[in-house]
């Protein structure tokens, strides 16, 4: 997720703060994204001044810090007299004469990614239904953050030359089938062409393999390629037309060459070296 200084994330936070104030009916609202254990307040609504703008709220400090660490809303009817929070930010909160304050964390995959605040300067506070409204706004923001995370992850994979997961799984399945066909082919010309196609598929899935060279036999490649798509020893034996004990032997030898203690580790290491997709 872009940090609070990027234009896109700043607009997202301002929209969320505005919606929080509107839906909960708190006259004052503010909020910010989390970064390295700090909430950076970057959006305001209903403020008289700018003292709260840029406020950095540390984990476990103040009302928002408690909400961040506990992953649940925190609420006080009288901020200045509260004995359950630290008062690190009294000057900023006091500058707006805030009395009642609520801090609601925005949690994505078990991690607090932002905090939204609502407050009053006294008078009649919103009725108790404000928590349901607050939950709706924070859920919408959490969804937007998750979408941004997914988009950033896709861009990162693309920048590194990696394929999307669904495409990669299809490629691995096709590679295993290609290895099976090549094993059954007796024509040397066709076998050579299949081998060249095999190498192209591996390069597509891993354009930057590790430099250390590892030599596997054709059958070890065959067995690992099928193990890579989750096939059992019995399924590999059926696909390749060999005995189950032979599959186990090839797999054990490949694991030794790859210095792997399990078949899963062997597959991961082989992929890291660009041997299989």
- The pLDDT assigned to 161 comes to 54
Nearest to 113 by CA among 53, 59, 177: 59
* pLDDT digit string, tens, across residues 85-96: 999 999 999 999
Distance in angstroms (rounded) separating the CA atoms of residues 114 and 80: 23
Nearest to 115 by CA among 75, 158, 175, 161: 75
Query: Is 80:94 a contact under the CB 8 Å cutoff?
Result: yes
More confident residue, 229 or 104: 104
Query: Over the chain, what is the mean pLDDT?
Result: 85
- Considering the chain, what percentage of its residues have pLDDT values greater than 90? 48
> For residues 196, 198, 203 and 205, what is the CA-based torsion angle, rounded to 10 degrees?
160
Nearest to 18 by CA among 59, 48, 47, 38: 47
Q: How confident is the model at residue 210 (pLDDT cuts 50, 70, 90)?
A: very low
Q: How confident is the model at residue 72 (pLDDT cuts 50, 70, 90)?
A: very high
Distance in angstroms (rounded) separating the CA atoms of residues 44 and 49: 10
DSSP 44-65: EES-SSSSSTT-EEETTSHHHH
What domains lie within the chain, and their CATH numbers? 7-159 (3.30.450.40), 165-272 (1.10.10.10)
Cβ atoms < 10 Å from Cβ of 143: 12
* pLDDT digit string, tens, across residues 3-49: 446 777 888 899 999 999 999 999 999 999 999 999 999 999 999 99
* Whole-prediction pTM: 0.59
């Amino acid at each position: 997720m872009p940090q609070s200084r990027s234009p896109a994330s700043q607009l997202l936070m301002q929209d969320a703060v505005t919606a929080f104030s509107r839906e909960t009916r708190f006259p004052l609202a503010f909020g910010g994204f989390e970064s390295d254990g700090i909430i950076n307040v970057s959006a305001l609504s209903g403020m008289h001044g700018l003292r709260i703008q840029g406020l950095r709220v540390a984990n476990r400090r103040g009302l928002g810090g408690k909400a961040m660490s506990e992953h649940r809303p925190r609420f006080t009817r009288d901020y200045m007299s509260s004995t359950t929070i630290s008062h690190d930010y009294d000057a900023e909160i006091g500058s707006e004469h805030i009395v009642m304050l609520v801090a609601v964390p925005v949690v994505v995959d078990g991690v607090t990614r932002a905090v939204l605040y609502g407050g009053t300067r006294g008078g009649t506070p919103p009725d108790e239904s404000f928590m349901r409204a607050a939950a709706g706004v924070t859920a919408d923001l959490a969804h937007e953050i998750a979408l941004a995370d997914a988009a950033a992850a896709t861009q990162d994979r693309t920048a590194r030359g990696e394929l999307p997961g669904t495409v990669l799984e299809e490629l691995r399945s096709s590679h295993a089938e290609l290895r099976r066909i090549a094993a059954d082919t007796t024509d040397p010309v066709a076998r050579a062409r299949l081998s060249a196609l095999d190498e192209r598929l591996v390069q597509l899935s891993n354009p930057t393999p590790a430099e250390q060279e590892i030599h596997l036999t054709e059958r070890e490649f065959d067995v690992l390629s099928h193990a890579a798509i989750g096939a059992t020893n019995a399924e590999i034996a059926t696909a390749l037309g060999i005995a189950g004990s032979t599959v186990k032997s090839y797999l054990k030898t490949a694991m030794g060459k790859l210095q792997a203690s399990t078949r899963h580790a062997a597959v991961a290491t082989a992929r890291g070296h660009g041997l299989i997709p």
